Amino acid sequence: MKIAVLEADRVGSTIGRLWHASHDVTFTARHPAAGTWRCAHAAPVADAAAAVEAMLAAVPGRRSAS
């Protein structure tokens, strides 16, 4: 299955790496230099969305003060 992980930061890249063992995974991120592309290929969001069967939108939420 072809899967896109949108916004592959901490959570998205972890899930994507696990899926990569048995699926074709494409990552997108605002900060590609962060090194999230080690196990699959990277693409702009529009390209990734056009070429996949499923997407994970792992967008960060608002951080709570602790």
Structural domain contains residue 35: yes
Q: How confident is the model at residue 36, as a pLDDT?
A: 47
Q: How confident is the model at residue 7, as a pLDDT?
A: 74
Phi, psi values for residue 16, rounded to 5°: -60, -40
Domain carrying residue 31:
2-57
Structural domain contains residue 66: no
Q: Return the amino acid letter for 27.
A: F
Q: Which residues pair with 55 in a beta bridge?
A: 4
Phi, psi values for residue 11, rounded to 5°: -70, -50
For residues 24-40, give the mean pLDDT.
Answer: 63
For residues 10-35, give the mean pLDDT.
Answer: 78
Please state the pTM of the whole predicted model.
0.67
Structural domain contains residue 26: yes
Q: Domain tally for the chain? A: 1
**Quick check: 56 and 33 in contact, CB under 8 A?**
no
Cα→Cα distances 28→1, 15, 24, 66, Å: 17, 13, 14, 29
